[in-house]
Each structure stands twice: as C-alpha cells, then as structure tokens.
Amino acid sequence: MKEYVESFLELLYPEKNTCFICNTYNESINDKYICIDCERKFIKLEPPLCAKCSKPIASTDHIFCRDCCTYDRSFEVSKSPYSYKGLVKDSIYNFKYYNKPYFYKLFGKCLIDYMKENNYTDFDYIVSVPLHPSKLRIRGYNQAELLGRYLSEKLSIPYKDVLKRTKKTPKQSQQSKSSRRKNLKNAFSVKKLPRNENIKNSRVLLIDDVYTTGSTVDECSKTLLNFGVAKVYVITIAR
C-alpha cells in the first residue's frame, strides 16, 4: 500500500524548488515546498495557549481554555503550529478538496520542524483520523493518512492503519459544537486485525489536518483508549 501511494504521488509532484502555494521557483526553497513570502503569511500560534488543546487564551492566569474546562478530553494534549485562518486555511482547503495530495509534503515538513522544536516526538506509533469509505472514494486519498505516513518515515515511528470510520456524518464544519459531539459518538472503531494488537499499552500520536472543536480527535482518542492504548496525543496542522 505504501509503495502504491508513493508511486501515485510521484506523478503529481510539482518541480523541486517550486512553492506549492504560489508556484514561484527559487532554488532556496529546496525541500520546504514553500517560498519565504508565503511562509511569512502562515500565522503561527503564539502563547499563551491552552495547556490541553493549544487554543489561544487571554492570559497566563489560566492554564486551560473554557472548552477544556467544560468538557473532558480523552487525549493527553493536542498541539498545532498554525492558526486556522488566512493562507493556512486556504492551503488546507486546497489540500483536501482541490486534488492536491502532494501538499502533504509541505505540511508534513512544517509539522516535523514544529515537533522537533517542541520536543514532541516521543511516541510508539502514529495513527491518523480515517475518512468514511464513501468520502475516500470521492476524494481519492485521506489527507491525514498522507501526513501520518510522512511523519512516520521522517521520525522513524511506525505508522498503524488501525482506525476506521463506521458512521457517515454530516460535514463537521457546518455543525454546532453539541451537534458535532452527538454526530461523532461511536463513529469510529479499531480494525480487528491481529497486527493491531501491539498498539495496546502504547503511546500513540493521532494526526488530523485541523482541530476545530476537538470532537473528532477526542472520539478517535476514546476509541483507541477503549481498545487498550495507554495514552493518545494529537497533532494537527492548524486550529
């Protein structure tokens, strides 16, 4: 499967040293896949941030944001390098809906750099949030899986294809917080395969593209914990 995905994506890579965002060619771009001008437009999350979900908070007088004080979280912590707005938001949208699977290299490199800078790499396995089969057929790829496999290769942490989406839900961005939690309840399960047993009692990094209310990654985390995973951590491109 990995070899198939890699060979498929090789056909879609733009020329090296070309910015994936604006198509500018510059030899200094190299394997970053983004030019300096576009990179400057990616808005980074700056402290103070919620210690649980990395949401910007008003001051250092509080450790957690209001949502994390209100709702129990199944994951240990969720981190994101960028704010989900402007060019970051547009680029993630293109990654998902405009047939640009090769964007996983750009965002994957951003995540690798961020994780190493923040010492956020101590995991036993990497897992991605799955798409429902019907959506996967339409899109042709799961952007979270592409990110997960890239991080797995670069960090030498095994990638495990263990989660499946068993319930087709409405588009989450169009739902309220309460509706998202309700829609996603029991929406995921672990693939019952012998090779998946070794994720039990392990530290798992769960990957998705965007953290909004946290309902998706929380439900996935709950599913993994119920299966026997010791702890679940989350990384997303933006929130």
Does the structural domain 2-238 have CATH classification 3.40.50.2020?
yes
pLDDT along the chain (239 residues), means of 10: 52 72 92 94 97 93 92 96 98 96 96 98 98 94 98 98 88 65 87 92 98 96 98 98
How high is the pLDDT of residue 143? 98
For residue 117, give Cα distances in angstroms to 111, 114, 173, 200. Answer: 10, 5, 30, 28
Would you call 110 helix, strand, or coil by DSSP? helix
How high is the pLDDT of residue 7? 52
How high is the pLDDT of residue 31? 86
Beta strands in the chain (DSSP E): 78-79, 125-128, 163-165, 188-190, 203-210, 231-238
How high is the pLDDT of residue 169? 76
Sign of the CA dihedral running 144, 112, 124, 48:
negative
